[in-house]
Amino acid sequence: MTITTNDISPASGGQGVGQGAMASDTKLWDQSHVMTTYARQPAEIVRGEGCWLFDSEGKRYLDFLSGIAVCSVGHAHPYLAKAIADQAATLIHASNLYLTQPQARLARRLMELSDFERVFFCNSGAEAIEAAIKLSRKYGRAISESKVRIITATNSFHGRTLAAVTATGQPKYHEPFAPLPPGFDYVPFNDITALEAIVTDDTCALLLEPIQGESGVHPATLEYLTKARALCDKHKALLIFDEVQTGVGRTGKMWAYQQYGVTPDVMTLAKGLGGGVPIGACLARGVASETLKPGDHGSTFAGNPLCTAAANAVLDILADERLTQNAATVGAHLEERLKALGAPRGMGLMIALELDKPIAKKVVAEALALGLIINATGDTTLRIIPPLILTKELADEGVNLLTQAIASAAL
């Protein structure tokens, strides 16, 4: 069978290759054949453009979620699309047994943009956390066989693999999957006294989000992160920042740690780095950057030419369009506008809106009906993480839609 471009275009009705199906077919196939790990919203998204998404019936939505902080440069950015297409037509995969220029170039650029020295590429945020966990355990055991404990914060979120979900400081994610890997301790977020009490010489790493995202956008205090750095130095533990959601310009700096002036030993990235193409990264400096040796860790698909070409394009766009600065400017404008609707908190274009009533999930549904995509992280908390290309005009449009959604949900 020969497949041409026309066969696979959405307009062609080429259902033989999975395209052009009616929305009713998509819903049926999804319900019949996809594991029920997601509570789907009642819209089939078929196309994106800038800050807009379009469903199978032609309705458009202003995207205040960006694929959960993934589509950093918006949807269908022409420069990113061309970089992906050009690389796909050249070389998609060769395996990590060989050198590839897009991967080496991305590694060099990440080091130039940060305070780190080496990177391990992977495919997701959870895998970046896994790499950081393995790295820190090996680092600790080289000092002492008992130096294996990893401390994380309550209400944190670090991913869905078994070790990453154990690192996540939320019992609701633990209970279905016991027994969990041992060696993890939890400490209240932003509680300096509790932090001082729990870090010991048996601690190999302290893993923190500079801004807790999944639990409702809660920034760390400068005092907390400063103390975390001092305690890790004192006890020869690694300080790891999970910047899967906060990295790549989201907060108004390239990396959230730069907002605080506190540099970790290890930083994990994913989400916005590939602009929608799956890629993760675990960056390290000092002794941590030299800990993993050949055979200690690896990944079949990680850092392949396609995903690293996409990430290189994202970095180009961030620089050329000054999107990090845009996140700071538009984020401040958006946060100010949101004060009329509740209590906003966050940094850059990573904002939570705290409502005075437990109607957040109803607001999400009402907003979708009005043409705004947003999500709830709790009964009273909305999370706003739009593409970094958001303008003040689109921010205002989103606030207007959100105002209507909140009013409808409150009835």
Which active-site residues does the annotation give?
157, 242, 271
Please give the full DSSP string across 75-131, using - where no structure is assigned: BS-HHHHHHHHHHHTT-S---TTS--HHHHHHHHHHHHTSS--EEEEESSHHHHHHH
Q: In this structure, which amino acid lies at residue 133?
A: I
Residues 6+ apart with CB under 8 A from 15: 21, 25
Beta bridge partners of 10: none
Q: Which of 359, 354, 80 minimizes the C-alpha distance to 218? A: 354
Q: In what order do the strands lie in the sheet with 350-354?
A: 343-347, 350-354, 381-384, 375-376
CA distance 329 to 333: 6
Buried b (16+ CB within 10 A) or exposed e, 70-90: bbbbbbebeebeebbeebeee
User: 62: which strand partners?
Assistant: 52, 372
* Token pair 């959230």 in the structure block, residue: 256
- For residue 401, how many other CB atoms are within 10 A of its CB? 20
DSSP annotation of 253: S
Q: Which among 231, 239, 272, 238 has a CA at the least distance from the CA of 255? A: 272
Q: Which residue has the tokens 């009705």?
A: 13
Of 251, 257, 199, the C-alpha closest to 228 is 199
Q: Which residues, in sequence order, are CB contacts of 27 under 8 Å at separation 6+?
A: 44
Half-sphere exposure of 179 (CA within 13 A, CB side): 3
Q: Where are the alpha helices (DSSP H) in 321-391?
A: 323-338, 360-370
